[in-house]
Amino acid sequence: MNFLENASLEKQLYPFTLTRAVADIRIGILTIREKWQLAAGLISDIAVPSNLLPSPRILASIKTGGDIIEGVDSMLIKHPWQIFEYNDWAIRQDFDLLTSGRVSQPISSTNTLIAPENIFLEPGARVEYCLLNASRGPIFIGMNAEIMEGSMIRGPFALCEGALVKMGTKIYGATTIGPYCTVGGEIKNSVLFGFSNKAHDGYLGDSVVGEWCNLGAGTSNSNVKNNAGPVKVRDQYSGREIVVGLKCGLLMGDYSRSSINTTFNTGTVTGVCCNIFGEGLKGPHIPSFTWYGPDASTRYEFDKTIPDIDN
C-alpha cells in the first residue's frame, strides 16, 4: 500500500500534519493508514490519496479495476475540522470492519444497555455500572480500555486501546477517544488522537485534539458563536478564513497544554507545543511554541519546551 502525498494538503490539515503524515491522522476508530492496512492483502499494489477514507464501495471498485470516486460512500479529508465532521461516518465504517465475523466480550449485567447488538468490547475491556446507548450509533470499547462507573455514553463512540473514561463522564457521539487517553467531564462530537488527557470537568465539543496534549481541570471550549452565525477558521495554505459551518470548537496540535479553567473561543486553532493559561477567551489562532499568558504571548523557549513535553 502506497500513499500519494500532497504538500498543499499538509498545510491545509494544519496543525495535525506538523508532526505526522496525513495517513496517520485518526478518524473513526483507526488512523487512515490502519484502515488501508486491513485491506492491503487484496489491494497491496495500488497507490491511494493519503487523505482518502476507504469504504466498502471504494474497495470493491479498486478490486475490480475501477476508479476511486469521491461521493456518498467515500470521504476525502481536506480540512482539519472535517475530522470531527466525518467522525460519525468513520466510526460506523471502522466498527463494521473491526467486528465483522467476531463476537464481543461479555458485557457486565451491572450496565444499562440500549441496542446491545451495536456494542462491542475487545478482550480486557472493563465497563461496570454505566449507561451505554447504541441506538443512534455503535459503541466500540478497545482492548484493556475502561469506562468507570456512573458514565453515560451515547454512540457512535470509540474508546481505543488502554484509554480511560473517568467516573460520571458524559459523552455524546460522534466521539473518538484515542489510545491511552484519559477523559472526564462532558464531551461531544470530538476526536482525541492518543496519549492526551481531558481528565476533569469542563466541556469539549466539535473539536480535535492531537497527541500528548493536556487540558487542565475546568478547561472548556465554545463551539457555537453567541450570535449563532457561521464559524470561520484560518486556512494555513491559502491564508484565507474559511466558513466551517455553525459549529467548530478547538483544533489543538500535539504537545500543547492548557491550565485549569482555560476557555477557548469558537474555532480556535493552536499549533504544537503551546503552553496556554490565564483568564479570558483564548483564540482564534495560537502559533506553535507559544507561551500564552494573561498579559501577552511570547515564544516558548525551545530548550525548556523539550524537557517539558517529555515529562
pLDDT tens-digit series, residues 283-296: 789 999 998 877 66
Position 130 scores a pLDDT of 98
- Count of all residues that appear for the chain in the document: 311
pLDDT at 25: 97
Look at residue 70 in the predicted model and tell me its pLDDT. 55
| Neighbouring residues of 239: CB distance < 8 A, sequence distance ≥ 6 | none
pLDDT value of residue 41: 62
Q: What is the pLDDT of residue 40?
A: 63
Would you tell me how many other CB atoms lie within 10 Å of the CB of residue 285? 16
CA 230, CA 276: separation in Å to the nearest integer? 26
Question: How confident is the model over 155-193, as pLDDT tens digits?
Answer: 999 999 999 999 999 999 899 999 999 999 999 999 999
* Whole-number Å distance between alpha carbons of 248 and 188: 11
Burial 135-165 (b: 16+ CB within 10 A, else e): ebbbbbbbebbbbbeebbbbbbbbbbbbbbb
For residue 282, which amino acid is it? Answer: K
Residue 240 CA to its chain's centroid (Å): 24
Inter-residue contact 171 to 154 (CB < 8 Å): yes
Give the residue extent of every domain in the chain: 2-99, 112-309
Could you give the CA distance from residue 95 to residue 100 in angstroms, rounded to a whole number? 8
- Which residue positions in the chain have pLDDT lower than 50? 72
Instruction: Map grid coordinates 462491542 to a residue.
Output: 120
- Per CATH, the number for 112-309 is 2.160.10.10
